[in-house]
Structure 1
Amino acid sequence: MKLSNYFLPILKENPSEAKIKSHQLMLRAGMIRQSASGIYSWLPMGFKVLKNIEQIVREEQNKAGAIELLMPTIQSADIWKESGRYDDYGKEMLRISDRHERDLLYGPTNEELITQIFRDNIKSYKNLPLMLYHIQWKFRDEIRPRFGVMRCREFLMKDTYSFDVDKHTAEFSYKKMFLSYLKTFQKFELNAIPMKAETGPIGGDLSHEFIILADTGESEVFLDKNLLDIDVNEVDYSEKNINEIIERFSKFYSATDEKHDVNEFEKNVSKENQLRTKGIEIGHIFYFGDKYSKSMKALVNNKEGKNINPQMGSYGIGVSRLPAAIIEAKYNGTFMKWPKTVTPFKVAIINLGKNGDEADQKSNEIYQNLINANLDPILDDTSENPSSKFKNFDLIGIPYQIIIGSKLKKDEFEFKEIGEEKLILSKEEVINRLKEIYNIDK
């Protein structure tokens, strides 16, 4: 993509309404624009990041054995009345009526709808275990939306729902999602710490939040620093591996302020490993047994020929919250550096030449070479001065830059990873290095 043909409305100053760094950067870098209180349009740069995050989440859900479907944003109130949550949910639920005066709602979550789908289509234990998920927009009418996409009213969520014949297999489904979340967040270069949590309006007796550490987080967290060093990327989903990972995480203390036990923390965590900080929730998993299958009369026939209510779990990731969470974890106040898994473009070409000169020709040539190599470049071919170009791309956060000026020799290119020293490489070396970084076959 050539920047002259792109829609990237960069702001020079921080907007006054933006109080945290992710909100400031997403507005300044032309990623989002507010259309109403707590409701945002995702502009092209932000949308690319969002879709890249969505795809990684999807890939890891598929590996864990979940099957994707898509449920609507608008739901019938009838199924919520069946479960007993319609009157209990509160003013966060946006209630509406259609032209026939039928009660509808903009879905804040999907336990009822997925239970209805299951109830109408699955009758035998032979179809279990089953995990279904979707990635869909939700709406919760927050009383005070703030912090940009971090706490807004309309947001994109990944929701998985598990159905099992008994508690034992349901707990294994829970553990699979536990590992899936750890693997997903590590692919975003985030240390997401699992912490026992309250179940809230979803219900159940087993729940974990996944929290990344950030000064701007709303939750106070307490943990053993050993949790920051556990790597799960190469772990597969065999029962043995899943249980080993759960056991490793269970050895070390972690809790939000609402679950924190001061005496247990002091007793079980050495002084040098005690970490008290703040965090941002980016995922939440629940096991709630037959709370919905019982109230909504979802039944399956078990091995003994008896009708039973399946055991269920619910697993959410805030997909549209993740770009902001990554920024909170990565932005150092001077430059942003997106993880290579989610960067909107793989490399930025900063053309310091003028129209038609040698630097301009070199820029266009390597731009085409990178496209042919599936390296998705963005070329700054604008007439902005060099200082503005450098500031803009440090703000946008594309992790790799190729800088082309008039002082370089014919087959010399300045290659730079944001925050690192620049290198002088040939065109072939630049392309080969990028292919290696992004694991693209040469």
Structure 2
Amino acid sequence: MRLSRHFLPVLKESPSDAQIVSHKLMLRAGLVRQTAAGIYAWLPLGQRVLQKIAQIVREEQDRAGAIELLMPTLQSADLWRESGRYDAYGPEMLRITDRHDREMLYGPTNEEMITAIFRDSARSYRDLPRTLYHIQWKFRDEVRPRFGVMRGREFLMKDAYSFDIDEAGARHSYNRMFVAYLNTFARMGLRAIPMQADTGPIGGDLSHEFIVLAPTGESEVFYHSNWEKPAELSSVDFDDVAGLQSIVSTYTADYAATDEKRDEAAEAAAGDALRQSRGVEVGHIFYFGEKYSKPMNLRVQGPDGAEVIPHMGSYGIGVSRLMGAIIEASHDDNGIIWPDAVAPYKVGIINMRVDDEACTAAADDLYAKLQAAGVETLYDDRDERGGAKFATMDLIGIPWQIVIGPKGLAKGVVELKRRATGEKEELSIEDALAKVSA
């Protein structure tokens, strides 16, 4: 994409109402614009990143055996009355009435709807286990929406729901999602710590939040210093019950908990290794047994012919919130530093002199070759000062920058810059093309 034809309204200064780094940079870099309290329009650059994040989430869900569908944003209040949550959920739920006086709601989550869908189709144990998911917009009427997309009212979420014949199967489904989440966040360059967590209005007695450490996070967290060390997850067989349990046990061996689930004995045992910080929740998983299947009359025939109530779990990832979390974890004084996997473009070309025939010819040719190679490229072909172009590229965080100017071309080279490290090197155009295309 040529920047001269792009819609990229960057700002030189941070808006006064932006309080945290991710909110400031998302506004300055032209990723989003607020349209109402806690509600944002996703501008072209932000939409590209959002799609990249959603695709990684989707690939890891598919890899773990989950099946994608799409449920509507509006739900009938009757479904929530079946589960008993309609009156209990609280003012965060946006309740509305349609023109026929039917009570509806803008879904904050989908346990009731997916239970009803599965109830109408599942008949026997042969229909289990199943994990279904979608990536859909949600709405929670926060009393104080703030911090940009980190605590907005409308947000994009991946929510998955598992159905199993018994508790043992349900715990294996839980472990599958636990490991899938570790893979998901690692692919985005994030170290997300699984922490014992309160189940809240979702219910159940087993729950983990996945927390990215950030000083601006909404949660107070406590953890063992071992979590600060790099971790690698080897290849995973999602059908290996014992293997998955071993991975989960390894990743929960060191103490980590949110404020609501603190364990004084574990903290005393950690001693000087205990750390305290704030964090951003990017995922939350729950096992809640028959909490929804029983009151909503979900039944299947078991192997012996007897009626069985399936056990369920739910698993959420804040897709739009992840963008803020990534920026909180990866930025500098000049702007965003996107990990390669979620960057809106891989390469940014800077033509230093659009009025120089040789510069423009070389930049146009390189742009055409990168496009032909399938490399996502943003080409700054604007008639602007070089300093303004450098500032824009650093602000929006493109991983690679190729600078083409008359002095370099006279020597047969261009400058290649790695945004994450600031490292620069002079290469021939052919070598620069090969390096960024690798």
- 1:423 aligns with 425
Q: Does the alignment pair 1:287 with 2:268? A: no
- 1:231 aligns with 232
Letter in 2 for 1:45: L
Deviation at 1:233, TM superposition (A): 5.4
Deviation at 1:357, TM superposition (A): 1.9
Match of 1:245 among 227, 244, 247: 247
Q: Secondary structure at the match of 1:292?
A: coil
Deviation at 1:246, TM superposition (A): 1.0
- 1:313 aligns with 313
Letter in 1 for 2:5: N
2-side partners of 1:359 and 1:266: how far apart?
A: 64
TM-score normalised per structure 1? 0.96
2-side partners of 1:264 and 1:65: how far apart?
A: 35
- 1:266 aligns with 268
Q: How does 1:190-229 map to 2 (within 5 A)?
A: 190-228=190-228, 229=230
Moved more, 323-332 or 232-241: 232-241
2-side partners of 1:431 and 1:295: how far apart?
A: 61
Letter in 2 for 1:62: D
Deviation at 1:305, TM superposition (A): 0.6
2-side partners of 1:146 and 1:359: how far apart?
A: 45
1-side partners of 2:58 and 2:213: how far apart?
A: 24
Q: Does the alignment pair 1:332 with 2:332? A: yes
Contact 2:188/2:341 (8 A) holds in 1: yes
Structure 1 unmatched runs, 5+: 437-442
CA distance 1:242–1:264, change in 2 (3 Å):
same
Q: Does the alignment pair 1:255 with 2:238? A: no
Q: Secondary structure at the match of 1:312?
A: strand
1-side partners of 2:243 and 2:358: how far apart?
A: 56
Contact 1:227/1:249 (8 A) holds in 2: no
Moved more, 114-123 or 224-233: 224-233
Per-residue CA shift, 1:403-434, capped at 9, x if unaligned? 11111135412111013321111222222212
Moved more, 424-433 or 91-100: 424-433
Q: Does the alignment pair 1:176 with 2:176? A: yes
Contact 2:334/2:391 (8 A) holds in 1: no
Q: How does 1:49-68 map to 2 (within 5 A)?
A: 49-68=49-68
Q: Secondary structure at the match of 1:291?
A: coil
- 1:91 aligns with 91
Contact 2:196/2:207 (8 A) holds in 1: yes
Q: Does the alignment pair 1:69 with 2:76? A: no
Letter in 1 for 2:267: F
1-side partners of 2:24 and 2:268: how far apart?
A: 38
- 2:2 aligns with 2
Deviation at 1:99, TM superposition (A): 1.3
C-alpha RMSD of the superposition: 1.2
1-side partners of 2:10 and 2:334: how far apart?
A: 16
1-side partners of 2:59 and 2:355: how far apart?
A: 43
Deviation at 1:356, TM superposition (A): 4.7
1-side partners of 2:107 and 2:257: how far apart?
A: 30
Q: Secondary structure at the match of 1:138?
A: strand
2-side partners of 1:166 and 1:266: how far apart?
A: 36
- 1:122 aligns with 122
Q: Secondary structure at the match of 2:336?
A: coil
2-side partners of 1:182 and 1:41: how far apart?
A: 29
Contact 1:161/1:312 (8 A) holds in 2: yes
2-side partners of 1:234 and 1:390: how far apart?
A: 40
Letter in 2 for 1:67: I
Contact 2:194/2:252 (8 A) holds in 1: no
Q: Secondary structure at the match of 2:375?
A: coil
Q: Secondary structure at the match of 1:364?
A: helix
2-side partners of 1:263 and 1:129: how far apart?
A: 37
Contact 1:350/1:402 (8 A) holds in 2: yes
1-side partners of 2:223 and 2:51: how far apart?
A: 32
Contact 1:186/1:233 (8 A) holds in 2: no
Letter in 1 for 2:235: E
Letter in 2 for 1:424: E
- 1:78 aligns with 78
Deviation at 1:147, TM superposition (A): 0.5
Per-residue CA shift, 1:370-389, capped at 9, x if unaligned? 00000010000011211111
Per-residue CA shift, 1:315-337, capped at 9, x if unaligned? 00000001100000111233321
Q: Secondary structure at the match of 2:261?
A: coil
Structure 2 unmatched runs, 5+: none
Deviation at 1:270, TM superposition (A): 4.9
Q: Secondary structure at the match of 2:92?
A: coil
Q: Secondary structure at the match of 2:313?
A: strand
Letter in 2 for 1:423: E
2-side partners of 1:233 and 1:391: how far apart?
A: 39
Letter in 2 for 1:331: H
Moved more, 360-369 or 273-282: 273-282
2-side partners of 1:38 and 1:150: how far apart?
A: 9
Deviation at 1:241, TM superposition (A): 3.2
TM-score normalised per structure 2? 0.97
Per-residue CA shift, 1:357-402, capped at 9, x if unaligned? 2111111110000000000100000112111111111110011100
Moved more, 257-266 or 292-301: 257-266
Deviation at 1:90, TM superposition (A): 1.1
Contact 2:370/2:437 (8 A) holds in 1: no
